[in-house]
Amino acid sequence: MAVWGERLAGVRGVLLDISGVLYDSGEGGGVPIAGSVDAVARLKRSQLKVRFCTNESQKSRGELVALLRRLGFDISQEEVTAPAPATCQILKERGLRPHLLIHDGVRSEFDQIDKSSPNCVVMADAGESFSYQNMNKAFQILMELENPVLISLGKGRYYKETSGLMLDVGAYVKALEYACGIEAEVVGKPSPEFFKSALQALGVEAHQAIMIGDDIVGDIGGAQRCGMRALQVRTGKFRPSDEHHPEVKADGYVDNLAEAVDLLLQHADK
């Protein structure tokens, strides 16, 4: 189809979202999305450069990669852009000492960070740890700071687990923003800085790169605002209404990563 030839012409690098594109998380770690293990392998055998760009903030990169390898994916830690390491960089640069409202699974990423006398709050997808008590503690710390700083790893509305849709960190960010009368700084998609760091690691220009994700706002809208192209997969948190989103229109919609890779291998870099 000529239309795909035009849409994918000149693509030299691919950024892949992980949750909802490679696999659905859930009980026992999760399950690969049909065709995605093979699709990643085919992509990596091609001339296209590949990098993974995730807002995963419940697990450390090490744990995430170990899980994906168990599920059969060819992936290594160095190929992953994730918000926790990017946040540690910011904390160090600005002399910030965080109170952490995070999942235990990602705590090890902050091992080297000074957490005494907190002067900011860092929040991530804490899952079950988003108890009233933990939220209230973070709220009270922010209210006691003269210049409250709230850093959030992503601001997703929800994601999909095998058991259904799950509230993501963005909902809880909105709660603290409203209660404290402040605005959070977001590290992760759709922040342009985050996409740019992934592009730099990928080693291609924005106009030569394409993002493949299941989040119409965080993945598709965010990548497009950075000058990249973006395809939305109809897996993960995709909902049919996404194809009529009032603000964001993907460069293409595909049933899953396998179809996206079929099209890329046929049309990209031509």
> In degrees rounded to 5, what are phi and psi of residue 69?
-65, -40
How near is the Cβ of 97 to a copy of itself at its closest, in Å? Answer: 21
How near is the Cβ of 242 to a copy of itself at its closest, in Å? Answer: 11
Residue 86 CA from chain centroid, whole number:
12
Q: Write out the binding residues for a copy of itself, residues 193-232 only, by CB under 8 A.
A: none
Contact 45, 9 (CB under 8 A): no
Determine which residue in the list 9, 31, 34, 165 makes contact with a copy of itself, applying CB under 8 A: 165
Tokens describing residue 176: 């603290």
How near is the Cβ of 25 to a copy of itself at its closest, in Å? Answer: 14
Q: How would DSSP label each residue in 112-165?
A: TS--SS-SEEEE---GGG--HHHHHHHHHHHHH-SS--EEEE---SEEEETTEE
State which residue, 205 or 243, has the beta carbon closest to a copy of itself: 243
Residue 26, interface with a copy of itself (CB under 8 A)?
Answer: no
State which residue, 64 or 217, has the beta carbon closest to a copy of itself: 217
How near is the Cβ of 140 to a copy of itself at its closest, in Å? Answer: 6
How near is the Cβ of 133 to a copy of itself at its closest, in Å? Answer: 7
State which residue, 108 or 129, has the beta carbon closest to a copy of itself: 129
# residues contacting a copy of itself (CB under 8 A)? 31
Residue 176, interface with a copy of itself (CB under 8 A)?
Answer: yes
State which residue, 47 or 132, has the beta carbon closest to a copy of itself: 132
Q: How far apart are the first and last CA of the chain?
A: 14
State which residue, 35 or 156, has the beta carbon closest to a copy of itself: 156
Residue 172, interface with a copy of itself (CB under 8 A)?
Answer: yes
| Residue span binding a copy of itself (CB under 8 A) among the ranges 58-66, 159-167, 191-199, 218-226 | 159-167
State which residue, 71 or 166, has the beta carbon closest to a copy of itself: 166
251-257: Cβ within 8 A, 24+ apart: 251/7, 251/210, 251/224, 252/4, 252/7, 256/33, 256/34, 256/35, 256/36, 256/39, 257/16, 257/21, 257/22, 257/33, 257/35, 257/36, 257/39, 257/40, 257/212, 257/233
Determine which residue in the list 29, 32, 72, 127 makes contact with a copy of itself, applying CB under 8 A: 127
Contact 189, 50 (CB under 8 A): no
Determine which residue in the list 136, 162, 200, 266 makes contact with a copy of itself, applying CB under 8 A: 136
How near is the Cβ of 125 to a copy of itself at its closest, in Å? Answer: 10
User: What does the binding site for a copy of itself look like in residue numbers (CB under 8 A)?
Assistant: 126-133, 135-136, 139-140, 143, 157-158, 164-168, 170-172, 174-181
